[in-house]
């Protein structure tokens, strides 16, 4: 600042406001810059964490969509498939397909004779391979009696070896693939019989004890059913409650009491809702355990307070002038609410509901209590079929000892994240769609 | 001749003397008096209020107000901010019901029926006593739907054709038809402030009320839009009874036949607008009119 005498002063000897403000300007600007820096730093930090999370999950998970396959020339021997010569589908579906695979492998390695070597050899192939053969034959009975070249999944240990997660130089006792098997594999690779291929198994199959056969479809269907039920139950009840509390309820101690309790419920740990669901829905009402119907009832209890609070907030934000306008021309209270207030509040309510849904999607603890943590292979066909959900599936896989489940876990997290992003995107889209000016 | 002239002069003199002495001897109204001055009755009353008190919780916003509002009359309520004129206006169609702490005692009769009767439903009352608010508040819907909403909920139109006719007629009466006839499906909130207020008036008259309450309808508008609304009020007064609250004394003088002056919860003076503005009786009214306060 310059020290020249101040020109424009109303009172001699006193600095003018302009100069005083001019002097304080540097400090104000510094404060502004500092604040902006904090904000940007916060965002950068958050983005960095998000990036680390994504890189980590994608880096580990992308291999789950690829599966090592082995090309075998299978002779669909009539004597094995249909020993009695009945030529019925029943016989074909009961036949011993594993034997076909074993025979094919023995053909490739004729020198393998000892029991131990045979076991090592046969262990290369996934136990699910025989199901694949059976599906092929049942689909096309003309294969019987012919030889066909078929790609079959290998065992998860071999898959992991192929994806580079097993150290070949390690001591034999420290790795899941022994030297003899390595030898077999090297010879198969030399014959171009082993290859990594895209596999849809992950998206089309349910859970399995065998990592190479495990898929997300069961958990995904379970999650979809549970969330659908949760939304159908919690949104109408939540909106109705919010409208009643905000518009109709008399202002008295009871209403205050209810409001406090709704707010408290929103903060109750979710496992408590799980215990409540176990005690009430399963033990008292006798609903089937491990099912989406119980899951969505429990998650509805958990989501309701969120939806009610968001609903009330968005009802409050509707300007009173709109209510006055409707009341002023003789609309009844119900008409005012349904024709004018609710349409304006719905975007906010939907946003609140979808945020609640997103929370319900990621919820694990209460579902453990109602048995949705069970190992379920079948894909649920309805609300009363036993099923599991995405976060519980992640928990189950993360808890499994096989190395191959690591990539499955990450892949399941990716599916969950996609689901979450889609739901949040929907919330933003709906808000934009229904947002109106007034 | 002289004698006659003398007589005339004498007569003139005595008349002048009488007028002056009358004026001097007319009891000067005490500034602290809160009794309503002027003629509160009407020859052809539509609304009759007797000893109305309005409370917000413990706080009395209107004290013992009695007033009659005549048929097809435009009456304006003036007074400083917080004097209770809007509060009183809103008691006439029970808009104050929406305020939880608000309580009304006394008697307000419209066409002989007490509107604070326990059995009375506010829906027909508000259909009969329409209201235009201070800030234009069109619904965030199309211009058409804004006007059609009232007739729709009250079942005033048998079919779409009738409804169209009502909408057109109401917009014409509100002087808005020519400006919006080609864009009836546009949002009502997209109009200018003055147009929005006329849309609100159209919405009110679409229900075909008997009485229209206007709560400072021009306070958010520019002078040109204000002039349009004032002209509209003059036209509407042929068919409706209009009660208008205004902060502008010029406006009160221009649009209304009667004027009521409020002061902190009391109705101080009522009379013909001309009288109020040229010859206020109560000192408080005079102070307000002459701009000494308010």
CB atoms within 10 A of CB A208: 18
Is there a contact between B137 and A322 if contact means CB atoms under 8 Å apart? yes
Q: Across the interface, do A324 and B98 touch by the CB < 8 Å criterion? A: yes
Residue-level pLDDT at B119? 86
Helix axes A292-316, A342-361, angle to 10 degrees: 140
For B108, residues 6+ apart whose C-beta sits below 8 A from its C-beta are B47, B48, B49, B50, B52, B91, B92, B114, B115, B116
Average pLDDT, stretch A224-228?
Answer: 94
Hey, is the C-beta of A408 within 8 angstroms of any chain B C-beta? Answer: no
A435 touches chain B (CB under 8 A): no
Q: What is the mean pLDDT of chain A?
A: 89
pLDDT > 50? residue B294: no
Q: Kindly state the average pLDDT of the residues A355-372.
A: 91
Supply the pLDDT for residue B50. Answer: 92
Distance between CA atoms of residues A144 and A138, nearest Å: 10
Tokens 């004026």 sit at which residue?
A: B23
Give per-residue pLDDT as tens, A318-348.
Answer: 999 999 999 999 999 999 999 999 989 988 8
Is the per-residue pLDDT at B194 higher than 60?
A: yes
Contacts of B150 in chain A (CB under 8 A): 329-331
Structure tokens at A292: 């989406």
Find the mean pLDDT for residues A383-412: 92
pLDDT band of residue A1 (cuts 50, 70, 90) is very low
Region of residue A114 (phi > 0: left; psi between -120 and 50: alpha; otherwise: beta): beta
A130 in helix, strand or coil?
helix
| Domains, chain A, with CATH or none | 64-205 (no CATH), 217-434 (1.10.3720.10)
Nearest CB to A325; choose among B123, B124, B139: B139
Phi, psi of B272 (to 5 degrees): -65, 140
Partner-chain residue, chosen from B100, B139, B154, that has the shortest CB–CB distance to A340: B139
Contact A330 B126 (CB under 8 A): yes
On whether the CB atoms of residues A417 and A390 are closer than 8 A, the answer is no
**pLDDT of B105 above 60:** yes
- Collect all residues of chain A within an 8 Å Cβ-Cβ radius of residue B203: 325, 329
What is the average pLDDT across A24-30? 92
**C-beta atoms of B135 and A321 within 8 A:** yes
Mean pLDDT estimate for chain B:
87
CATH topology of domain B35-289: Rossmann fold (3.40.50)
Q: ipTM of this predicted complex?
A: 0.83
pLDDT on residue A177: 86
The label of the residue with tokens 């309503």 reads B36
Nearest residue, CB atoms, B140 vs list A327, A328, A438: A438
Contact flag A322-B149 (C-beta cutoff 8 Å):
no
Q: Is the pLDDT of residue A438 over 60?
A: no
Q: Beta strands B45-56 and B102-110: pairing type?
A: antiparallel
CB B189 to CB A437 under 8 A?
A: yes
- pLDDT for residue B14 is more than 80: no
State which residue of chain A sits closest to B151, comparing Cα positions: A329
**DSSP bridge partners of B69:** B47
Is A326's CB within 8 Å of B100's CB?
no
Look at residue B24 in the predicted model and tell me its pLDDT.
56
In sequence order, the 6+-apart residues with CB closer than 8 A to the CB of B210 are B46, B111, B128, B129, B240, B241
Q: To the nearest whole percent, how much of chain A has pLDDT over 90?
A: 47
pLDDT at A233 over 50: yes
Higher pLDDT among residues A438 and B91, named by residue: B91
Smallest Cβ–Cβ distance between B133 and the set A251, A328, A344 belongs to A328
Using an 8 Å Cβ cutoff, are A143 and A137 in contact?
yes
Contacts of A329 in chain B (CB under 8 A): 126-127, 130-131, 149-150, 153, 203-204, 206-207
Residues B123, A330 contacting (CB under 8 angstroms): yes
Choose among B100, B130, B153: nearest Cβ to A331: B153
For A288-306, the pLDDT digits (tens) are 989 999 999 999 999 999 9
A83-92, B225-234, B284-293: the lowest-pLDDT one: A83-92
Bridge-based pairing of strands B211-215 and B241-245 is parallel
- Provide mean pLDDT across the span A423-427: 86
Q: What is the pLDDT of residue B20?
A: 63
**A324 with B125: Cβ contact below 8 A:** no
The residue of chain B with its CA nearest to that of A341 is: B139
pLDDT at site B130: 92
B140 chain-A contacts, CB cut-off 8 A: 322, 344, 436-438
Partners of residue B187 in chain A, C-beta under 8 Å: 437
Q: Which residue of A has its CA nearest to B139?
A: A322
Q: Select the residue of B100, B126, B149 nearest A327 (Cβ to Cβ).
A: B126
Question: How many Cα atoms occupy the beta-carbon half-sphere of B116 within 13 Å?
Answer: 19
Q: Which of A26-30, A141-145, A222-226, A287-291 has the lowest mean pLDDT?
A: A141-145
Helices (H), A62-171: 78-81, 89-94, 97-108, 115-122, 129-139, 156-162
At A280, the pLDDT band (50, 70, 90 cuts) reads: very high
Q: According to the model, what pLDDT value does residue A172 have?
A: 83
């Amino acid at each position: 600042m310059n020290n020249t005498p101040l020109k424009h002063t109303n009172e001699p000897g006193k600095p003018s406001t302009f100069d005083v403000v001019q002097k304080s300007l540097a400090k104000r600007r510094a404060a502004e810059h500092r604040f902006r820096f904090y904000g940007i730093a916060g965002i950068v930090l958050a983005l960095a964490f998000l990036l680390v999370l994504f890189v980590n999950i994608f880096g580990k998970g992308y291999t789950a969509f690829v599966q090592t396959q082995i090309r075998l020339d299978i002779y669909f021997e009539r004597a094995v498939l249909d020993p009695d010569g009945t030529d019925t589908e029943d016989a074909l579906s009961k036949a011993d397909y594993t034997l076909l695979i074993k025979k094919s492998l023995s053909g490739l390695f004729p020198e393998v004779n000892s029991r131990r070597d045979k076991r090592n050899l046969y262990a290369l192939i996934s136990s699910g391979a025989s199901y694949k053969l059976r599906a092929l034959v049942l689909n096309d009975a003309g294969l019987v009696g012919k030889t066909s070249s078929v790609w079959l999944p290998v065992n998860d240990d071999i898959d992991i070896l192929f994806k580079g997660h097993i150290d070949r130089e390690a001591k034999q006792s420290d790795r899941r693939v022994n030297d003899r098997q390595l030898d077999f594999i090297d010879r198969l690779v030399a014959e171009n019989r082993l290859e990594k291929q895209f596999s849809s198994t992950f998206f089309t199959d349910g859970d399995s004890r065998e990592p190479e056969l495990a898929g997300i479809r069961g958990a995904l269907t379970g999650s979809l059913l549970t969330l659908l039920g949760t939304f159908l139950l919690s949104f109408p009840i939540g909106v109705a409650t919010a409208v009643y509390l905000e518009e109709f309820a008399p202002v008295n101690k009871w209403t205050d009491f209810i409001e406090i309790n709704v707010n408290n419920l929103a903060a109750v740990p979710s496992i408590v809702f799980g215990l409540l669901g176990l005690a009430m829905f399963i033990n008292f009402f006798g609903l089937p355990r491990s099912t989406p119907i119980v899951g969505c009832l429990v998650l509805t209890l958990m989501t309701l307070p969120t939806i009610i609070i968001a609903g009330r907030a968005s009802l409050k934000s509707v300007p009173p002038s709109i209510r006055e306008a409707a009341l002023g021309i003789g609309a009844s209270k119900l008409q005012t609410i349904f024709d004018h207030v609710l349409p304006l509040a719905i975007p906010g309510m939907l946003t609140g509901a979808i945020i609640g849904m997103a929370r319900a999607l990621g919820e694990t603890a209460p579902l453990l209590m109602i048995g949705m943590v069970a190992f379920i292979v079948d894909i649920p066909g309805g609300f009363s079929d036993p099923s599991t959900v995405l976060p519980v599936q992640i928990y189950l896989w993360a808890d499994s000892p096989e190395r191959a489940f690591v990539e499955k876990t990450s892949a399941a997290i990716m599916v969950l994240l996609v689901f979450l992003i889609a739901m949040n995107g929907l919330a933003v889209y709906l808000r934009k769609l229904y947002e109106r000016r007034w | 001749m002289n004698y006659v002239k003398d007589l005339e002069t004498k007569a003139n003199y005595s008349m002048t003397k009488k007028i002056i002495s009358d004026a001097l001897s007319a009891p000067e109204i005490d500034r602290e008096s809160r009794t309503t001055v002027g003629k509160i009755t009407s020859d052809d009353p539509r609304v009759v209020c007797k000893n109305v008190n309005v409370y917000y919780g413990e706080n009395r916003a209107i004290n013992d107000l009695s007033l009659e509002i005549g048929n097809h009359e435009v009456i304006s309520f003036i007074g400083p901010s917080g004097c209770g004129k809007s509060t009183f206006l809103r008691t006439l169609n029970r808009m104050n019901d929406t305020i939880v702490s608000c309580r009304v005692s006394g008697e307000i009769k419209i066409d002989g029926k007490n509107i604070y009767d326990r059995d009375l439903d506010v829906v027909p009352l508000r259909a009969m006593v329409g209201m235009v608010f201070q800030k234009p508040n069109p619904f965030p819907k199309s211009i058409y739907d804004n006007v059609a909403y009232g007739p729709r909920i009250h079942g005033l139109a048998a079919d779409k054709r009738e409804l169209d006719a009502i909408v057109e007629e109401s917009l014409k009466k509100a002087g808005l038809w020519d400006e919006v006839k080609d864009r009836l499906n546009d949002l009502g909130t997209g109009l200018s402030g003055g147009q929005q207020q006329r849309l609100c008036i159209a919405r009110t008259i679409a229900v075909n009320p008997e009485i229209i309450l206007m709560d400072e309808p021009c306070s958010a508008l520019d002078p040109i839009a204000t002039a349009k609304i004032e002209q509209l009020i003059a036209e509407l007064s042929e068919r409706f009874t209009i009660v208008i609250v205004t902060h502008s004394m010029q406006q009160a003088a221009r649009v209304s036949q009667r004027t009521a002056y409020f002061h902190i919860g009391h109705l101080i003076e009522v009379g013909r607008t001309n009288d109020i503005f040229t010859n206020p009786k109560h000192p408080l009214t005079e102070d307000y009119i002459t701009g000494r306060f308010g």
